[in-house]
Amino acid sequence: MVRTEISLFLKNAPGELGKLATLLSDAGINIDAMTIQDASNYVKGLFEARGKSLKRIASSAAYNSMRKDSAQFALIRFLVDHTDQAIDLLSKNEYIFDIIPVIAIKLDNKPGSLAEISSKFGEEGININYVYGSVSSPEEKCLFVFCPEDIDQASKIFSE
């Protein structure tokens, strides 16, 4: 199932995640899945990808400065139950964010479930940029979020 993921840069400081979660909670918006990483890893990945495909547009000194500055922020990727409402709320509160379509699939919480789904991507020649999941208990299904390189092709596989 195609869903909209919100990618947000948040200051890497005590209390910032609590403020974001409270803002969403007060608006009745539930977070379905979330992953958080140091933004410097994200910036490093962008520069490595750029180096493979394009000429470098920044000097080595500028790159190192950007990487150092980005460590002050976290990159948060998440799905919510009311995406449009969340986007409006984040905009009004001046958060820096982007949106991207992803594939969200509920899997049985048992050995082999992730292997089966991720193998389908491979069989169709679709690379997965990243994946994260949410597990609550052995009896309940897990929600896994996949960001494939080709969302259109991936959505056809899982719509069947």
Over the stretch 114-142, which tens digit does the pLDDT of each residue have?
A: 999 999 999 999 999 999 997 777 788 89
Number of domains in the chain: 1
Half-sphere exposure in the Cβ direction for 73 (13 Å, CA): 18
Over the stretch 46-102, which tens digit does the pLDDT of each residue have?
A: 555 555 544 445 455 554 555 555 567 888 999 999 999 999 999 999 998 999 999
What is the domain range of residue 42? 2-159
Q: How far is CA 137 from the centre of its chain?
A: 22
The domain that holds 39 is classified in CATH as 3.30.2130.10
Predicted confidence at residue 51, as pLDDT, reads: 54
| Top-confidence residue, 67 or 16 | 16
Q: What does the alpha-carbon distance between residue 52 and residue 23 come to, in Å, rounded to a whole number?
A: 39
Predicted confidence at residue 54, as pLDDT, reads: 47
Q: Are 42 and 70 contacting, i.e. CB atoms less than 8 angstroms apart?
A: yes
SS3 state of residue 87: helix
Q: Tell me the one-letter amino acid at 79.
A: L
